[in-house]
Amino acid sequence: MDVSVIIPTFRRPDGLRLAAESVLAQANPCGLKVELVIVDNDPAGSGLTTAQAVAKSAAFPVKIVPMPEPGVANARNAGLEAASGELIAFLDDDEEAPATWLCELVGTLRFYEADAVFGPVRTRLPDSLTHHRDYYREFFARSGPEESGHIDHYFGCGNSLIRRAALPSAQPFDTSRNTIGGEDDLLFAQMQSAGAVFAWSAEAWVWEDPLEQRTTLDYTLKRAFAYGQGPSAACASNRPVNLPGIVFWMVIGAGQAVVYGALAGVLWLVRAPNRAHMLDKAARGLGKVFWGGPFKLGFYGTAAS
């Protein structure tokens, strides 16, 4: 098998159907051998009916993997264990890929001899959402270089392609990140330290349809705070612990929180259109300072219920 496309899902049957059907509709002029792996991470099995319906209409193998222990790392590891492809693509259950998506990813990986490839994410919002619309569109999107090529940094797992041989182990996603996320950042940081080559595929974009309950400042600012925790937490996860790195990021974060927080206060008073953007930056700064222990926030598995 050339490529295994893994879709982890948790209580989003409609999103799963859209994501899975977009994989089934992939154009395949390069003759790839493809399989789809759907991992249902809901103990109640809410995605099984949708996954079974998708499998009946598929022109290539579809594997349905129940993973009753909720957690984003559990789901990704279970998908990897079931997958047989030498290349592993990840698509989230709130994303939809155009027909050329998979071939674009594979072509970029092969052309640039990369170990992992990342593509753009475009946000699709309902017309009824008008408050802070530009902020939400940017928050849920992923942008990068205008042209494909090598990059010296990494992005998240959603809309990515990884060479299996470059993974550090058979179960590479850290289960300590099951509820809080960031398991993909830790993996790619580990791969980068080992010399992995990363690339960007400018044409391998996907749509993302955020859930309605996520297009609120209550959700996005908490998520921004959690994203901000990433650099400090990554230094803490090093062995030995990178104490200078932790101190560096905490100092940077404190400065960001003070400066951006003050600017956000002023912008909020005058009702400036970009006030949510500035609050987001302040939240990310705070996350660098308060990055561990009781400040960890849950977004996945049972924590998302």
The 10s digit of each residue's pLDDT in 174-198 is: 998 888 888 898 899 899 989 999 9
pLDDT tens for the chain, residues 1 to 305? 699 999 999 999 999 999 999 999 998 877 899 999 999 999 999 999 999 999 998 999 999 999 999 899 999 999 999 999 999 999 999 999 999 999 999 999 999 999 999 999 999 999 999 999 999 999 999 999 999 999 999 999 999 999 999 999 999 999 988 888 888 988 998 999 899 999 999 999 999 999 998 999 999 999 999 989 988 988 888 789 999 999 999 999 999 999 999 999 999 999 999 999 999 999 999 999 999 888 887 776 655 54
User: 46: helix, coil or strand?
Assistant: coil
Q: How many CA atoms lie within 13 A of 9 on its CB side?
A: 32
Judge residue 133's burial from the number of C-beta atoms within 10 Å of its C-beta, 0-12 exposed, 13-18 middle, 19 or more buried.
Answer: middle
Which residues lie below 8 Å from residue 93, measured CB to CB, with a gap of 6+?
7, 8, 9, 10, 12, 15, 16, 19, 47
* Tokens read off for 150: 């090598």
Helix (H, G, I), strand (E, B) or coil at 219: helix
Which residue type is seen at 219? Y
Specify the pairing of strand 198-200 against strand 149-151: antiparallel
**Which pTM does this prediction carry?**
0.90
CB-based burial label for 171 (10 Å; 0-12, 13-18, 19+): middle
- What residue ranges in 46-151 does DSSP mark as E strands? 62-66, 87-90, 95-96, 116-118, 121-123, 149-151
The DSSP bridge pattern shows strands 62-66 and 34-40 to be parallel
DSSP state of 202: T
Q: Which residue has the tokens 């995605």?
A: 47
Query: CA-CA distances (angstroms) from residue 2 to 82, 103, 227?
Result: 14, 11, 33
Please give the backbone phi and psi of residue 72, each rounded to the nearest 5 degrees, phi first. Answer: -65, -40
Give the integer Cα–Cα distance in Å for 95 and 53. Answer: 19
| Sign of the CA dihedral running 297, 298, 304, 305 | negative
At residue 249, φ and ψ (nearest 5 deg) are: -70, -30
Say what the pLDDT of residue 302 is: 54
pLDDT value of residue 18: 97
Q: Which residues pair with 220 in a beta bridge?
A: none
pLDDT at residue 252, as a whole number: 98
Q: What is the DSSP letter of 142?
A: B
* Residue 90 exposure: Cα atoms within 13 Å on the Cβ side: 25
